[in-house]
Amino acid sequence: MFAYPKQYDVIVVGAGHAGIEAALAAARMGCQTLLLTINADSIGQMSCNPAIGGLAKGHLAREIDALGGEMGKATDMAGLQFRMLNTKKGPAVWAPRAQCDKKAYQFRLKWVCESEPNLDVKQGQSSKILRKDGAAIGVETTLEVQYFGKTVVITTGTFLRGLMHIGSNQQSGGRAGDAAAMSLSGSLQELGLELGRLKTGTPPRILRRSIDFSKTEAQHGEDPVPYFTFWKDDLFHMEHSRLKAQRQSLSGGKYPTGSILDRINGQLPCFITYTTEKTAEIIRANLHKSPMYSGVIEGVGPRYCPSIEDKIVRFAEKERHQIFLEPEGIETDEFYVNGFSTCLPFEVQIEMIRSIIGCENAEIMRPAYAVEYDFAFPTQIHSSLETKVCQNLFLAGQINGTSGYEEAGAQGLMAGINAARKVQNLQPIVLRRDQAYIGVLIDDLVT
């Protein structure tokens, strides 16, 4: 066993959207912070839809930005299409949404984390929470390295004993291409935390040139751009990468230098299409092959993000369902099939995709899958996101039973703030329900 010589104030386990906000918040509050991730190439990865905001989420992204988080700035730099939704109603329910270049978003957040003075980014899989006298004092990795810190923030996403499903095929993993964290769940249970199982899913990605866009409806971005960050003017002047001094704006200053919009001097469209009766027939004929409907998956899925199987079953009277075909980036030909999450077998997915209008000859580049994972029942945490069973241990993101980048980022930000404040012997910041939607989110979780 090797005890790492540097002592930290805050250790963050997991570098997804919750972990990034937690680590940056703590570091920017003056704490020596460690961000520990299974794969340093996956920091900030948009595992599902490469988009930020939208109905029920855009306001959280804006609140993260208002509190000093990074999500809004990263979105504005990596966005390839921006829209304000729900504008037919009053401004209180308007919702900003941005389609992002998933690699640009990921690379920017990786660079931001690596550039933060008080933040160390290290690759390693946490296997155990170290504790003493009822309090967390650090973590141990599968490499038998012990990192010691005054507080620990767990932001493991879908990785705790993650199990991916495509039909009857099962593979261990937190997401396609990344290993699951198989040991940490047991350590959390030893602390006294009660765990359950949840499930989420992602749709297939298809090849751009195999889509007949003439049969779809183009959906364009808005001008002027409805940026996410409240400090949008700063985007035109701040340093964005180590290459900034060598580059000039490609858009003549219309967009922030180095942003995706600047690089392509405009926005990319998304495309609207629909399922057909044939889609429903294929799904109904193969429901018995779905691990969700055959009882193989025990975890409960997200209420407001149903799979296409759920839509066909729940809304049998509907003749068609709206689908959005969305670009995943400016340097990839992958398109995200929004609204088509499934875990049916790959051969069935091919039939299903080719029954969508405009996708008759579509080629699947990455199959859809479901992932099942452990979570901690959130009534076991305080409003500060510190656990009740172990002092100095905080939980944020999907481990608390939520879903979505924005909900994860919001919890991560507050967990990072409160972990830092605990180190500094300050009272936690708890946003009230009448102060912020983040306050509503956390209060709903813990009560």
Looking up residue 69, the CATH number of its domain turns out to be 3.50.50.60
Q: Kindly state whether residues 439 and 300 are assigned to the same domain.
A: no
Based on the structure, what is the number of domains in the chain? 2
Q: Kindly state whether residues 212 and 145 are assigned to the same domain.
A: no
Q: Kindly state whether residues 352 and 415 are assigned to the same domain.
A: no
Q: What is the pLDDT of residue 241?
A: 56
- The residue segments making up the domain with residue 118 are 2-201+373-446
Say yes or no to pLDDT of 437 above 70: yes
What is this structure's pTM?
A: 0.96
Q: Kindly state whether residues 75 and 169 are assigned to the same domain.
A: yes
Task: Give, in degrees to the nearest 5, the angle at Cα 180 between 179 and 182.
Answer: 130
Q: Kindly state whether residues 46 and 161 are assigned to the same domain.
A: yes
Strand arrangement, sheet containing 364-366? 217-219, 270-274, 322-327, 334-338, 205-207, 364-366
Residues 6+ positions from 409 with CB-CB distance below 8 Å: 17, 18, 20, 21, 60, 61, 64, 69, 71
Dihedral angle, C-alpha 50, 51, 55, 58, nearest 10 °: 140
Contact 211, 221 (CB under 8 A): no
Q: Kindly state whether residues 345 and 425 are assigned to the same domain.
A: no
Residues 6+ positions from 92 with CB-CB distance below 8 Å: none
pLDDT tens for 154-208 read: 999 999 999 999 999 999 999 999 999 999 999 999 999 999 999 999 999 999 9
Q: Is there a domain that residue 327 lies in?
A: yes
Q: Kindly state whether residues 321 and 191 are assigned to the same domain.
A: no
Q: Kindly state whether residues 167 and 29 are assigned to the same domain.
A: yes
Residue 238 binned pLDDT confidence (cut-offs 50, 70, 90): low
Q: Kindly state whether residues 58 and 135 are assigned to the same domain.
A: yes
pLDDT tens for 348-396 read: 999 999 999 999 999 999 999 999 999 999 999 999 999 999 999 999 9
Q: Concatenated DSSP letters for 309-346? A: HHHHHHTTT-S--EEEEEE--TT--EEEEET----S-H
Say yes or no to pLDDT of 297 above 80: no
pLDDT tens for 94-137 read: 999 999 999 999 999 999 999 999 999 999 999 999 999 999 99
Q: Kindly state whether residues 347 and 406 are assigned to the same domain.
A: no
Q: Kindly state whether residues 174 and 40 are assigned to the same domain.
A: yes
Q: Is there a domain that residue 384 lies in?
A: yes
Q: Is there a domain that residue 74 lies in?
A: yes
Average of pLDDT values for 315-330? 95
Q: Is there a domain that residue 251 lies in?
A: no
